[in-house]
Structure 1
Amino acid sequence: MSAKAAIIGSGNIGTDLMFKIMRLTDKLDMGIMVGIDPASDGLARAARLGIATTAEGVEGLIGMPEFGDIEVIFDATSAGAHRHNAAALAPYGKKLVDLTPAAIGPYVVPSVNLEQHLDATNVNMVTCGGQATIPVIAAINSQTPVHYGEIVASISSKSAGPGTRANIDEFTETTSDAIVTVGGAASGKAIIVLNPAEPPMIMRDTVLCLVDRLTDAEQDRVAAAVRDRVTEVAGYVPGYRLKQAVQFQHEGAEVSGLIPEGRGTGEYTRVSVFLEVEGAAHYLPEYAGNLDIMTSAALRVAERLVTTKEEVAS
């Protein structure tokens, strides 16, 4: 039996997520689409599809007769709006999947730590850059301790809507934090680039990790772990792939300034991984892989959350 879902946020991300729920899963059923702009395309499309809608935000959602049947609520608004929404929904015992950088609940990256947070009432999907790169950092860290992890997420400026632009600071802070808390790096840094190129480029992500000097055999193990993790992520984000083979370059004391005090030997290997994410074009264009990876990961998380609830109930 499928669980009823609501989406708060009728913009690009929320609308894409609505189509994914309708097309890709039998574990969830679209129940309500929530917005604040009565003229938004997302609300109009939901209404045409026979889905209950409200343009009165979270308060309108709570007041709807269908609200009692909702089990999972996705929040695709902004960090500030999610803080308000989470507080308003707290008394009702719904599962919240947060696609903003608000980070009220624990960070969740499906291929890394989903099973650790199945009992959480509010889970945070980090950021698009985090969903694309943290699986790789965690894979490297599974083979050798990562002293420093740096990611650069390059996305088309056309795929960065008002919410993304308003949350740029939260993006870098949230992703940097999750590189450490989820990816396992001792320290981390995140950079986002909005590329205005025409035609629009698909999402590109670069992962740079500093680890202790690796032998050839250790490099092979790291590369294999990265390839395996990329395959796993591609299981729920079909457009996610390695752009080229994993690269290794030996470094010396010149990079010690990036290594936390008390760690490292003075001899390091830089592991470089180059990724790209092509969108599935359910609603968004193919170049908007940054948004597609967020909705795909959120869908995977919600499916697991409701499956767990059914397992507990039985």
Structure 2
Amino acid sequence: MTRAKVAVIGSGNIGTDLMIKVMRLSDSLEMAAMVGIDPTSDGLARARRRGVATTSDGVQGLIAMDGFGQIDIVFDATSAGAHVRNAAALAPFDKRLIDLTPAAIGPYVVPAVNLGQHLGAPNVNMVTCGGQATIPVVAAVSQVTPVHYGEIVASISSRSAGPGTRANIDEFTETTKAAIEQVGGAARGKAIIVLNPADPPLIMRDTVLCLVDRLDADARAAVVDSVERMVATVAAYVPGYRLKQAVQFTDVDATAAVRTLNPDLAPAPRTQVGVFLEVEGAGHYLPAYAGNLDIMTSAALQVAERLVARSEAAA
């Protein structure tokens, strides 16, 4: 089988981990180029040692490379602002872009939830690490009962947050909130990220809280089943993704002040669904505590392989 050639823009932690995943795990993708702006970066050095073509001249260096015309898919693992510029530079060349930044130029894609809906889009957005970890759970709950409010808290080790992540905190919360609503199905969403400086570093932890109508025993069982099936779906491409404890249910009285969460809600008995997750990294390039980066690269790899499978099926 002929492999589709891919390029990775961004030679930092995420881009380097993604490169290694492509080379180790994929039967349908071939690393054609690693692109950075720092000629001394470890990502570019590792790519050169593996025989991958490199440039430290950014996206313009990629465009000027021999073999650029044969590249099918470009991953962007830079920053939100840089992706806007990179996408504009690549627009004339008809490449498929997979955006691992919070720029959100293209539609949000969470593979376990909506990958099949956006395979024809020229530029798909992988939301954020917190979004990839938590939106599947919001979607699982919304498959059983309407989610009036969905809140997620992503707690990651500060050591796993590089310059791009730190520069994009605002974009993280805004993009994740929008995707909780648009992909997860919540009427209102909220996202919070915590950079935990604990030493030794802690593995990524995520909390998902969904406010729904009052659930009886049968509905609670249906929610548990839906969440557990969704967790298994994500774990199929992110092996370190797991429930930390059983799904929790807390009844909320009709007198509770939930209009601060969703002003459209009339007083009524509700139930809060609490789901607690842990994401351990696979250790391909990053330490196990960097599950936040591992889930992003694993999800992006899923998208690229599905794009290739779709193209082959259509040929």
Show CA shifts across 1:90-112 (max 9, x none).
Answer: 01111000000000000000000
Show CA shifts across 1:28-79 (max 9, x none).
Answer: 0100000000000000010011100000000000011110110000000000
Amino acid in structure 2 at the alignment position of 1:75? D
Deviation at 1:306, TM superposition (A): 1.4
Deviation at 1:255, TM superposition (A): 3.6
* 1:260 alignment counterpart: 262
Matched, 1:44 2:45: yes
* 2:83 alignment counterpart: 82
* 1:21 alignment counterpart: 22
Question: How many residue pairs align between the two structures?
Answer: 313
Matched, 1:53 2:85: no
Identity %: 70
SS in 1 for 2:135: helix
Amino acid in structure 2 at the alignment position of 1:80? G
Whole-angstrom distance in 1 between the partners of 2:11 and 2:264? 48
Deviation at 1:259, TM superposition (A): 4.8
Deviation at 1:256, TM superposition (A): 2.1
Matched, 1:211 2:212: yes
Amino acid in structure 2 at the alignment position of 1:223? V
* 1:287 alignment counterpart: 289
Deviation at 1:261, TM superposition (A): 4.0
* 2:299 alignment counterpart: 297
Task: Answer yes or no: is the 8 Å Cα contact 1:148–1:258 preserved in 2.
Answer: no
- Identify if the C-alpha distance between structure 1 residues 297 and 219 changes in structure 2 by more than 3 Å, giving closer, same or farther: same
For normalisation by structure 1, the TM-score amounts to 0.98
Deviation at 1:265, TM superposition (A): 5.0
- Identify if the C-alpha distance between structure 1 residues 248 and 206 changes in structure 2 by more than 3 Å, giving closer, same or farther: same
Whole-angstrom distance in 2 between the partners of 1:268 and 1:200? 37
Show CA shifts across 1:214-260 (max 9, x none).
Answer: 00110000011000000000000000000000000000231422453
SS in 2 for 1:65: coil
Amino acid in structure 2 at the alignment position of 1:293? I
Whole-angstrom distance in 2 between the partners of 1:189 and 1:304? 30
Note the residue ranges of structure 2 that are not aligned, 5 or more in a row.
none
Whole-angstrom distance in 1 between the partners of 2:227 and 2:23? 32
* 2:123 alignment counterpart: 122
Deviation at 1:263, TM superposition (A): 3.8
Note the residue ranges of structure 1 that are not aligned, 5 or more in a row.
none
The 5 Å alignment of 1:140-155 reads: 140-155=141-156
Task: Answer yes or no: is the 8 Å Cα contact 2:258–2:265 preserved in 1.
Answer: no
The 5 Å alignment of 1:170-185 reads: 170-185=171-186
Whole-angstrom distance in 2 between the partners of 1:9 and 1:310? 28
Deviation at 1:125, TM superposition (A): 0.1
Amino acid in structure 1 at the alignment position of 2:144? Q
Whole-angstrom distance in 1 between the partners of 2:71 and 2:27? 16
Matched, 1:104 2:96: no
Q: RMSD between aligned alpha carbons?
A: 0.9
